[in-house]
Chain A
Amino acid sequence: MKQLAEVLKDWEAVIGLEIHTELTALDTKMFCSCKLSHDDEPNANVCPVCLGLPGALPVPNKKAIESIVKAGLATNCEIQKHSMFYRKHYFYPDMAKNFQTTQGPIAFCMHGHLDLEVSGQGAAERPDCAFGSGEAASLASASAGATGLSTMKTADAPRAGSSQGTYDTALASGPVRAEDGSYTVPIRILRIHMEEDAAKMVHVGGQEGRIADAAESLIDYNRCGTPLIELVTEPDLRTPEEARLFMEKLRRIFLTLGISDCSMEKGSMRCDGNVSLRRRGETRLGTKTELKNLNSFKALHDGLEYEIRRQAEVLEEGGIVYQETRHWEPSRKRTVVMRVKETADDYRLFPDPDLAPFDLTDDFIEHCRSEIPELPDEKRARYEASFSLRAADAAQLAGDPEVARFFEEAMAASDAAAKGGKATAADKRARTVANLILNELTGYLNAAGTDVTIATAGIAPAQIASLAALLAEDAISSNQAHEVFGIMAETGDDPAKIVDERGMRQVSDDGALLPIVEQVIANCPDQAQQYRDGNQKVIGYLVGQCMKASRGKGNPKRFNELLRENLA
């Protein structure tokens, strides 16, 4: 198979995502008051409603509606005041009623978008190309079919609202590319609808855990009825990197909203990818395949990449891409056919007569809006503006609400400390705090494993602020900071105390450093001469000698400066 870059020169990949997110932050299920928990014994959290027993009736969870409205507002969707629940029928024991309660043509949230910023290597995946309004129009007309909504009934489909036009032409603006190759592109969100999750099934004795040939199948209804929101994008994504970035961005937003733990590993956030290829310049969509088991950001990227390369090979050899569902096998780095869709499934969708249509009030929507915290993009902009952080650092801090909270608490502690003592510029302190969080603390958390989070690691924001102060005052070197961090993580002591007790305070006083510099120059005449002859690199060796002579306490930056002055 050709490499992705090679393929994308000739072919345009058209990608749409369907992203399911369980509202794990809620206490109870979507239509009953059963506890929401996947960790309990199987079938511990069930009742007549979520078991679909005869006579049981659903009662909607108002908190879940609040959550989806927040999700819609945070992704620039139009909140639909009038929408309904529908029944989607299919016979399978993971859905106790043999229908799933979901939404119809009108979802709570319609027609949103997220702007995707693509930079670095990932930006190169998308070759420069004309991106005209003709394409936008063809995509808009094709989008319903491409996103699996073709079975929706037409008669009660939404009437095109006034903003529909803007939505359809949103793509026409296309990606805006900067000089460094990075670009920003709007990705339209068709809808976010509310539904209930199915039960978990375990097939024992079958091949690869599938039901065929299984000796027995076990069903755990704890998950059945979990509130689930499904976001469907338009097929606006063009590269696996864009798909990955979209998913990451959405996850950061949902985490910030506090509606879900968004764990791809545990399955509380799941993604299916639809992908098709067409020759560059072609406006009609090719035949798509649907990818399942994309249960990590890497799987999402790699699965799509493989599938694009596979489809290109099939098409270039004159073959046909079949509309089918394929399973990504990360261990073998390939996709395999799950089932072929010969005809569209007929889910016999109709309005659920047990659930009255919704009539959301302005007050309700405004209440939801008022509860939305600062979102990652706003937060990042604020960090960049107020602290002069590098864009990438600001984005990383702002992306995870726990990390952002930690950063802000550390900055508050740093500000408080700075008021008393000699003031280091706020920008400098902020950059130092950011560096410590993104390098030392993140590295520590990564090494500690998935069970430890920034909130449970036992490191206080004030400790990071204190460590940053030592760095900013040049009291310790960055190498020493690493060492102090390690001791701090182990003992829980304050960094200043650690530095003082262990005599680690860095010496920056020229009076102490100059004799060492002079001694080193005298001891290393060959290297000194090499420097004078223009070999700049040798200065590193000489700094190392100075550090050794000072038993690591001298300020390496000052040593460097003094060496250069004395060798001039």
Chain B
Amino acid sequence: MACFDELTAAQIAAGVGAGTFSAEDVARAALDAITARDKSVAAFLQVTPEAALEAARATDAARARGEKLGPLAGVPVAVKDTMNPVGTSTTCASRMLENYESPYTATCVQRLIDAGATPVGKTNMDEFAFGSSTETSAFARTNNPWDTDRVPGGSSGGSAAAVAAGEVPLSLGSDTGGSIRQPAALCGVFGMKPTYGVVSRYGVVAFGSSLDQVGPFGRTVEDVALGMNALVAGGSDPLDSTSQPCDTDFLGCLDEGVEGARVGVIPQLLNAEGLSPEVAAAVRAAADKLEAAGAEIVEVELPHMDAAIAAYYVIGPAEAFSNLARFDGVRYGYQEPGCATLAEQSSLSRAHGFGIEAKRRQMLGAYLLSSGVYDEYYFAAQKARTLITGDYRRAFERADVLLMPAAPRAAWRFGEISDPTQMYLSDVFTVPINIAGNGGISVPLGLGSDSGLPVAAQLVAPSFGDAALIRFAAALERAYGAAPVAPACAGKGGELK
């Protein structure tokens, strides 16, 4: 039979349900594809063949008993190494947590398992999600499947690359300032960050608690919708007091069409400094496609856009400083040997356990929260946040969805951006959405006219109106087609017997 990467998650679940192939066959095909492709892509930090086969066999056994299978039955999934499943290490790509095994499973991972998915491993990322290229990982360099000399984006670079390389049809990332949408754009796949509160954060190692949100990557909008349905099934999570109930049937939004709907574009963004012409052109073309599908294009304003990235680099590091304070080497994680005092042990464990970007963000956060500058920075950032949230609320009085770039440019070469502030600007289109809390999805628009690499648009929906993301992304997918597996990887290994 054919290579398993030709199948979508939806097709795999249907095939497993119908008995066309077994979940175990699919799991073996995925593991085979990972073996063949990850040498050059290195999307995974850890592959768990035994756990994968065990889960797949359990699915097959359930089918043999005549049980109703879940909507993700037999679908191989990869999760970012910031998520805790029992039985794997959760390192956050940091020496600090090398060999750390969680005694409990994150809600988002559990919900995929409950839907019948086959977890195959943990993907690479920027250390503790601090970065936009996955280059700050302490353990591995993940290569962009479209060009292995280029970055996959980040911080969820491994999860995006695994889907782009056809190693898995579905993966999970977490997005604090663009960490799902930006690597999805650079790898040419769909990547969705729901509204803050839609997906439980319980068991996902926190970066910025008020910004973090988990979401799926896929090569089709249907697969993203399938993933979303599984993540919100069961309602709000009693273990995450910021999670909200979501009763949207995301699959039901696929065929709604966009006739008569209003798509907001922001002229100031399309003329933004640093936006590559090919991305600007691709986003304009996407607007034309939506108009052709019957949508009305309206121009809207986001007056406080400029404040968003400044606010983000105050709130993000402040929360990160606080969230990462627990890593002191006392009970788990890296512990500096041979220390005489507790203070020495804590500070040296942190000095040697964290990488440079993790230290930079924590130092920044510690400064921003200190008394004397708190009002000037943290409190000011919160006020900016209120203004930015208001911008989006007003924009959605005139539009049903916003269309804008996801990343300012296509994937760049390793080492090309070494100045941290330049790196921070690669999130300029995604960060404001986390500040406002809304949901956004990265939609691949084919290859850029100059780079020949994937380029993407971003759709942004009203708060808790995430159904619109699926609805409009599906309209664009009808115009551009599903995201292809990166050519260098397609068909390598992974034969489904």
Residues of A bordering B, CB below 8 Å: 48, 51-60, 87, 89, 91, 93, 96-99, 151, 153-156, 211, 217, 344, 346, 348-350, 352-356
Which listed residue (A54, A153, A349) contacts B97, Cβ 8 A? A54
Q: A60-B241, A354-B242 are in contact. Are A89 and B322 (CB under 8 A)?
A: yes
Contact B201 A57 (CB under 8 A): yes
Q: A53-B103, A354-B241 are in contact. Are A154 and B375 (CB under 8 A)?
A: yes
Contact A353 B240 (CB under 8 A): no
Contact B326 A97 (CB under 8 A): yes
Given A54-B84, A54-B97, A89-B322, 17 more pairs with CB closer than 8 A: A51-B331, A54-B100, A55-B83, A55-B202, A56-B202, A57-B201, A57-B202, A57-B240, A59-B238, A96-B331, A98-B328, A153-B371, A155-B379, A348-B370, A349-B369, A353-B319, A355-B241
Q: A57-B201, A93-B328, A153-B374 are in contact. Are A356 and B242 (CB under 8 A)?
A: yes
Query: Which of B151-159, B182-190, B204-212 contacts the other chain?
Result: B204-212
- Residues on the A chain within 8 Å of B83, using CB: 55
- Residues on the B chain within 8 Å of A55, using CB: 82-84, 90, 102, 106, 201-206
Q: A91-B346, A97-B326, A154-B375 are in contact. Are A54 and B239 (CB under 8 A)?
A: no
Which listed residue (B202, B325, B343, B374) contacts A97, Cβ 8 A? B325
CB of B318 closer than 8 Å to a CB of A: yes
Give B247 Cβ to nearest chain A Cβ, in Å: 20
Which listed residue (A48, A156, A211, A348) contacts B104, Cβ 8 A? A48
Q: A57-B239, A99-B322, A99-B325 are in contact. Are A350 and B378 (CB under 8 A)?
A: yes
Give B58 Cβ to nearest chain A Cβ, in Å: 25
- Residues on the A chain within 8 Å of B62, using CB: none
Contact B97 A91 (CB under 8 A): no
Contact A54 B90 (CB under 8 A): yes
- Residues on the B chain within 8 Å of A154, using CB: 375
CB of B351 closer than 8 Å to a CB of A: no
In the bound complex, CA of A349 to CA of B370 (Å): 8
- Of chain B, the residue at the smallest CB distance from A89 is B325
The 7 closest A-B pairs by CB, nearest first: A353-B210, A353-B209, A98-B325, A348-B369, A54-B205, A55-B203, A155-B375
- Of chain B, the residue at the smallest CB distance from A96 is B326
- Residues on the A chain within 8 Å of B369, using CB: 89, 348-350
Contact A346 B371 (CB under 8 A): yes
Contact B326 A98 (CB under 8 A): yes
Contact B342 A93 (CB under 8 A): yes
CB of B298 closer than 8 Å to a CB of A: no
Interface digits, B64-83 against A, CB 8 Å rule (1 contact, 0 not)?
A: 00000000000000000011
Contact A156 B205 (CB under 8 A): no
In the bound complex, CA of A154 to CA of B373 (Å): 11
- Residues on the A chain within 8 Å of B103, using CB: 48, 53
CB of B356 closer than 8 Å to a CB of A: no
- Residues on the B chain within 8 Å of A348, using CB: 321-322, 366, 369-371
- Residues on the B chain within 8 Å of A151, using CB: 371
- Residues on the B chain within 8 Å of A355, using CB: 241-242
- Of chain B, the residue at the smallest CB distance from A150 is B371
> Can you sample 21 A-B contacts with CB below 8 Å?
A48-B102, A51-B331, A53-B104, A54-B90, A54-B326, A54-B327, A55-B84, A55-B203, A55-B204, A59-B239, A59-B241, A93-B330, A97-B326, A98-B328, A153-B374, A155-B375, A217-B342, A348-B369, A352-B209, A353-B208, A353-B210
* Residue from A48, A52, A60, A217 having most chain B Cβ neighbours under 10 A: A48
The A-contacting residues of B in range 299-344, CB under 8 angstroms, are 318-319, 321-322, 325-328, 330-332, 342-343
Contact A350 B322 (CB under 8 A): yes
- Residues on the A chain within 8 Å of B202, using CB: 55-57
- Residues on the A chain within 8 Å of B342, using CB: 93, 211, 217
In the bound complex, CA of A57 to CA of B209 (Å): 10
- Of chain B, the residue at the smallest CB distance from A98 is B325
Contact B102 A54 (CB under 8 A): yes
Contact B375 A153 (CB under 8 A): yes
In the bound complex, CA of A356 to CA of B242 (Å): 7
Give A245 Cβ to nearest chain B Cβ, in Å: 36
In the bound complex, CA of A217 to CA of B330 (Å): 11
Give A91 Cβ to nearest chain B Cβ, in Å: 6
- Residues on the B chain within 8 Å of A91, using CB: 325, 328, 343, 346
- Residues on the A chain within 8 Å of B331, using CB: 51, 93, 96
In the bound complex, CA of A56 to CA of B241 (Å): 11
- Residues on the A chain within 8 Å of B106, using CB: 55
In the bound complex, CA of A212 to CA of B90 (Å): 34
In the bound complex, CA of A153 to CA of B379 (Å): 9
- Of chain A, the residue at the smallest CB distance from B241 is A59
Give A144 Cβ to nearest chain B Cβ, in Å: 14
- Residues on the A chain within 8 Å of B325, using CB: 89, 91, 97-99
Give A552 Cβ to nearest chain B Cβ, in Å: 70
In the bound complex, CA of A561 to CA of B476 (Å): 111
Contact A53 B346 (CB under 8 A): no
In the bound complex, CA of A89 to CA of B371 (Å): 12
In the bound complex, CA of A286 to CA of B379 (Å): 33
Give B322 Cβ to nearest chain A Cβ, in Å: 5
- Residues on the A chain within 8 Å of B100, using CB: 54
- Residues on the A chain within 8 Å of B210, using CB: 353
* Residue from A55, A352, A356 having most chain B Cβ neighbours under 10 A: A55
Give A349 Cβ to nearest chain B Cβ, in Å: 8
- Of chain A, the residue at the smallest CB distance from B375 is A155
Which listed residue (B203, B378, B379) contacts A56, Cβ 8 A? B203
- Of chain A, the residue at the smallest CB distance from B378 is A350
In the bound complex, CA of A51 to CA of B242 (Å): 20
- Residues on the A chain within 8 Å of B240, using CB: 57, 59
Which listed residue (A52, A155, A356) contacts B374, Cβ 8 A? A155
In the bound complex, CA of A91 to CA of B331 (Å): 13
- Of chain B, the residue at the smallest CB distance from A211 is B342
In the bound complex, CA of A396 to CA of B104 (Å): 51
- Residues on the A chain within 8 Å of B370, using CB: 346, 348
Give B237 Cβ to nearest chain A Cβ, in Å: 9
Give A203 Cβ to nearest chain B Cβ, in Å: 10
In the bound complex, CA of A348 to CA of B238 (Å): 29
- Residues on the A chain within 8 Å of B366, using CB: 348
- Residues on the B chain within 8 Å of A60, using CB: 241
In the bound complex, CA of A189 to CA of B343 (Å): 36
- Residues on the A chain within 8 Å of B206, using CB: 54-55, 57, 354
Give A63 Cβ to nearest chain B Cβ, in Å: 15
- Residues on the A chain within 8 Å of B90, using CB: 54-55
- Residues on the A chain within 8 Å of B343, using CB: 91
In the bound complex, CA of A353 to CA of B241 (Å): 10
Give A359 Cβ to nearest chain B Cβ, in Å: 13
Contact A350 B84 (CB under 8 A): no
- Residues on the B chain within 8 Å of A344, using CB: 371
- Of chain A, the residue at the smallest CB distance from B237 is A57
Contact A58 B371 (CB under 8 A): no
In the bound complex, CA of A53 to CA of B90 (Å): 11
- Residues on the A chain within 8 Å of B375, using CB: 153-155
* Residue from A91, A93, A97 having most chain B Cβ neighbours under 10 A: A91
Interface digits, B87-106 against A, CB 8 Å rule (1 contact, 0 not)?
A: 00010100001001011101
In the bound complex, CA of A394 to CA of B127 (Å): 66
- Residues on the B chain within 8 Å of A59, using CB: 238-241
- Residues on the B chain within 8 Å of A96, using CB: 326, 331
- Residues on the A chain within 8 Å of B204, using CB: 55
In the bound complex, CA of A98 to CA of B204 (Å): 18
Contact B102 A57 (CB under 8 A): no
- Of chain B, the residue at the smallest CB distance from A60 is B241
- Of chain B, the residue at the smallest CB distance from A350 is B369
Give A381 Cβ to nearest chain B Cβ, in Å: 42
Contact B326 A57 (CB under 8 A): no
In the bound complex, CA of A87 to CA of B209 (Å): 12
Give B71 Cβ to nearest chain A Cβ, in Å: 25
In the bound complex, CA of A353 to CA of B213 (Å): 13
Q: A56-B202, A58-B241, A211-B342 are in contact. Are A87 and B322 (CB under 8 A)?
A: yes
- Of chain B, the residue at the smallest CB distance from A344 is B371
Contact B330 A356 (CB under 8 A): no
